Structure 1
Amino acid sequence: MTELAFSCVADLLEADTKNILIAYSGGLDSQVLLHLCAAQTALKPKLSAVHIHHGLQSAADVWAEHCRRQCEANGVNYIMLKVNATPQVGESPEAAARRARYAALQQLVQADDMLLVAQHREDQLETVLLQLFRGSGLAGLAAMPVSMAFGKGKLLRPLLHIAKQDIQRYAQRHALQWQEDPSNQSNDFDRNYLRNQIIPLLKQRWPALDKTVARTASHCGQAWQIQQEYLSDCLNDLLDPQDQGFNLAKWQLMASPRQALALRNWLINIGLRPPSQAQLQVIITQLIPARDSALPQLLIQGHTIRKYRQKLYCLPVQAQNLDVLEPITWPPQITQLAIANLGQVSCDLADMGIDRQIWQAGTVVISFRHGGEKLKLSGRVGHHRLKNLFQEAGVPPWQRDKYPLIYIDQRLAAVAGLWVAEWAWSVAPGKCYQLHWQPN
């Protein structure tokens, strides 16, 4: 078992780590990981074991006490966190427990901290098979990486290349004590069904299956990284740096498989889960070909995907349903203001813009569109409805009501970041205010 011990310690000592946290359930795998790390004198001062108390089993308190005693016996700091693992609508108990567990651990892991989890090679095999049966692509088949960013720090799986049999032998040789979760015997869960029924049969025919499938996962992970590098360059070209709109004119020049990849990666980078094939098809065959006048949109994972003027936008739903804001007085001594969760408006001295004398002599109020507002712009004939000016500027309809309107003595003087009314406009070096609008 020296290979196992060396791998675990070598990976740890390479990192400049403040705290080393072990995700410690008290089961066989995490018990071996705890013992391995506790045996290393150099790690002891940084080491803590974190036990997540889900409260789902009648023996949960007994398990927590067992973990506490094991940490005490090994001279390791013990942390116990209780979580609410109640499933959400449509969520399995297994998924709910995993979500609650990782959310709690993420909060705990700070900058330069490292979280160790005891997943091994057979866990990797199960994950690959589950992803395969779900129809996953490269990202899913890459399964679990050895290391990844987690919380504000890093997650490491030092046993991922170790066989389950080797872990069992290590535990027996050192006479370790661990807890058995009775739910592991229930084949109601997909992973348990694979572990208890399917994989033993497969291993009768292919004994080295865990090793070969782990190699496949590694190949998929490398291919995924290469794909991500390509897609990163691709998205840099497709995204408008001003409004983060997804450029459909450039996207339509791409080959069909690359189109789907680019769309999927765009949504993942925003923070959504990978969209299903059916959702991608709706975007490609229904949303994108739709006329702008129909204001096409698709609701997905708490976001709305909208199309306007050959661009796609993905917006959080809550950001589109804000209550009408009351007018805000802009104090003369303040150069920038944060407006609710909309964004920030600011003014800077400039050579052209709103006449500073008009600004300083009047009462400046920020308001928002109610409909029917008009502006007379310098150098243009007649008054123009804001609706028409927004259309000319290509501002998407759902953004127009979010632009701050600047009134001076109850007279519309400007739309922050876009236009200044003729009556307030001036060109005078260092004697004007230029308005900026930075939406959230």
Structure 2
Amino acid sequence: MLIKTEIQLMLCKFKKILLAYSGGIDSTVLLYNLVKLREKYPILLRTIHINHNLHILSNNWSKICRLQCQKWNVLFIKKNIKITQKNNIEKYARIKRYKIFENIIKNDEILVTAHNLNDQCETFLLALKRGSGPKGLSGISKISILNNIKLFRPFLEITRNQIFKYAIEKKISWIEDPSNKDIRYDRNFLRNIILPKIINRWPFFNYSVNRSSIICQEQEKLLVDLMNPILMKLIQKNNSLFITPLYKFSTIKRNFIIRRWIEYNKYYYMPSRRMLFIIWNEIICCKNNNNPQIKIGKYIIRKYKNYLFCIKYFNNLKNILLTWDNLNVPFILPNKLGKLVTLDTNINYKDKFINIRKPNYHESVYIKFNITGKYYFNELKCKKNINDIWKNLLIPKWKREQIPLLFYNNEFIAELENNLVTKEGKISSNNKNNFFIFWEKKY
């Protein structure tokens, strides 16, 4: 077998394996080895094939992969994705793939990929091109955890040439994707133009790069072990970062903490040194009330009081008016905020609920966001400005903009995040005229 004995034993310990199977030479040879390993050890093997729909032959390739799995008696799972972006295709494809893996993989299963030593070298050089530090230069790990998925790469110390020779020897057929020759992509440029010349002059270059990656991994792990106790004291329950102590830290220490905090918030791509400079000088050190922010991909970094927040970017819902025509049907909120459900009782319901009066027959039900004004809330004797209440509850401005507000005609009835009921929404003495609204934030 191409897989070394110690790697075989590691695979056997996992017992349940999900292979990311593209049909290319690397994953096909790995599948062949796993099938042979299954003959010796009691492992459960499945494959997941992602059709990216980027090539006219992609559907045919999916069929070939399915037939190969049937031939070797392996469970085959196929999923389709569509990539609309014209730039950074590899990046978005990877993100979508791992979202599918996260939904497919079982709790006691490990995801196995066919990354090899050449992939490691390419990844290292691409990180070097970007000017990455130890974390980026760490490259690909043999075992890692991403989005709660345990990843294992048994081919990481095997060269692409070794895989090719093995495939020829065992008469294994595979799919050749012509896009792998397109040198417009940086990785393909390295793979087809640069690295062959380097390896021709220095045959052990791949192995040297792998050793450097391992050293960087060890250094990064040491930094994390030393800094994590400090970081975890600064991260709050809502995942914000308490920034007051950062003013006393060195620039190096401060940047490391901010990077790790952004990573903690499950943002996949780390900010550049320039972005870290902007986060510190224009957001954290900002003295005015302009509420500065910086957008990184689909996330926004912004400050509220002495805390830094990393939040997903959402469309502004100000001046949005939504009609809830049928209260017996759940109301789907925009921006993936969840849904609203009405019931006559709150029994056995885990989500937050609010008890209000039912609308009269002549009253239409609306949902608004981000209003202003003074109202009578929860038996208060005088009107209170809703923004003052939110401020007292320490709710940042951007979160206020995502809180659904219930209206009957033009009357403000309730704020559904903090159970704020107005005088107009007060429950009646007749219980039959009251009901509960639940805000399901995940569905």
Using structure 2 for the length normalisation, give the TM-score: 0.73
Please, which runs of 5 or more residues in structure 2 have no aligned partner?
Answer: 325-339, 360-366, 407-411, 424-438
The code of the aligned residue for 2:145 comes to A
Deviations 1:177-231 (A, max 9, x none): 2233333233222112111211122123322111111111111112222223344
Q: In structure 1, what is the equivalent of residue 396 of structure 2?
A: 396
Cα separation, partners in 2 of 1:316 and 1:57, compared to 1, 3 Å: closer
Greater shift in the superposed pair: 300-309 or 201-210: 300-309
| Deviations 1:245-292 (CA, angstroms, capped at 9, x unpaired) | 322211111111111111122122112231222222221111222234
1:141 aligns with 2:137: yes
Checking the alignment, whether the CA contact within 8 Å between 1:141 and 1:217 is kept in structure 2 is yes
SS at match of 2:289: helix
Task: State the distance in 2 between where 1:376 and 1:164 align.
Answer: 69
Distance of 1:98 and 1:213 partners within structure 2: 23
Q: What secondary structure sits across from 2:310 in the alignment?
A: strand
- The CA deviation string for residues 297-339 of structure 1, in whole angstroms up to 9 with x for no partner, is 333333333323222223333386375799999989638988x
Supply the AA of the counterpart residue of 1:306: R
- SS of residue in 2 equivalent to 1:139: helix
* Counterpart in the other structure of 2:186: 190
Q: What secondary structure is seen at the aligned counterpart in 2 of 1:50?
A: strand
Structure 1 pair 239–31 and aligned structure 2 pair: CA distance change class (3 A): closer
Identity %: 27
- Corresponding residue for 1:6? 5
Amino acid at match of 1:12: L
Distance 2:61 2:405 in 1: 60
State the shift of 1:125 in Å: 0.6
Q: Who is 1:282 aligned against? A: 278
2:151 alignment partner in structure 1: 155
Q: Partner of 1:48 in structure 2?
A: 46
Distance, in Å, in 2 between the alignment partners of 1:389 and 1:296 is 23
Would the alpha carbon gap of residues 244 and 395 (structure 1) be closer, same or farther in structure 2, given more than 3 Å must change?
same
Residue 166 (structure 1) aligned with residue 162 (structure 2): yes
State how far apart, in whole Å, the 2-side matches of 1:57 and 1:385 are.
Answer: 57
Deviation of 1:8 after TM superposition, in Å, equals 4.0
2:91 paired with 1:83: no
- Once the two structures are superposed, the pairs formed by residues 203-214 of structure 1 within 5 Å of their partners are 203-214=199-210
In the alignment, the residues of structure 2 paired with residue 234 and residue 183 of structure 1 have an alpha-carbon distance, to the nearest angstrom, of 46
Answering whether residue 224 of structure 2 is matched by residue 222 of structure 1, we say no
Partner SS state of residue 39, structure 1 = helix
Establish whether residue 15 from structure 1 lines up as the match of residue 17 from structure 2: no
| Contact 1:83/1:100 (<8 A) preserved | no
Contact 2:341-2:440 at 8 Å conserved across structures:
no
Is 1:329–1:364's contact at 8 Å kept on the other side of the alignment?
A: no
The alpha-carbon distance between structure 1 residues 417 and 236, as it changes in their structure 2 partners (threshold 3 A), is: farther
User: How far did 1:387 drift?
Assistant: 4.8
Q: Distance in 1 between matches of 2:148 and 2:276?
A: 32
Distance of aligned partners of 1:391 and 1:112 in 2 relative to their CA distance in 1, 3 Å threshold: closer
Partner-residue secondary structure (3-state), 1:33: helix
- Quick check: 1:184–1:192 contact (8 Å CA) kept in 2? yes
Deviation of the 1:89 alpha carbon: 4.6
Judging changes above 3 Å, is the alpha-carbon distance between structure 1 residues 115 and 330 closer, same or farther for their aligned structure 2 residues? closer
Counterpart residue number, 1:201: 197
| Residue of 270, 275, 281 corresponding to 2:265 | 270
Partner-residue secondary structure (3-state), 1:287: helix
Within 2, Cα distance between the matches of 1:438 and 1:53?
33
Contact 1:109 1:152 in 2 (8 A): no
Tell me how many residue pairs correspond in the alignment. Answer: 398
SS state at 2:248 partner? coil
With structure 1 as the length reference, what TM-score do the two structures score?
A: 0.74
Confirm or deny: 8 A CA contact 1:5 1:36 kept in the other structure. Answer: no
Question: Residue 51 of structure 2 contacts residue 58 of structure 2 at CA under 8 Å; is this kept in 1?
Answer: yes
Larger gyration radius, structure 1 or structure 2: 1
- 8 Å Cα contact 1:112-1:153 kept in structure 2: no
What residue number does 1:67 align with?
Answer: 65
Please name the residue that 1:349 is paired with.
Answer: none
Pair 1:54–1:325, CA change in 2 (3 A): closer
Query: Is 1:252 the equivalent of 2:254?
Result: no
* Partner Cα distance (2:81, 2:172) in 1: 30
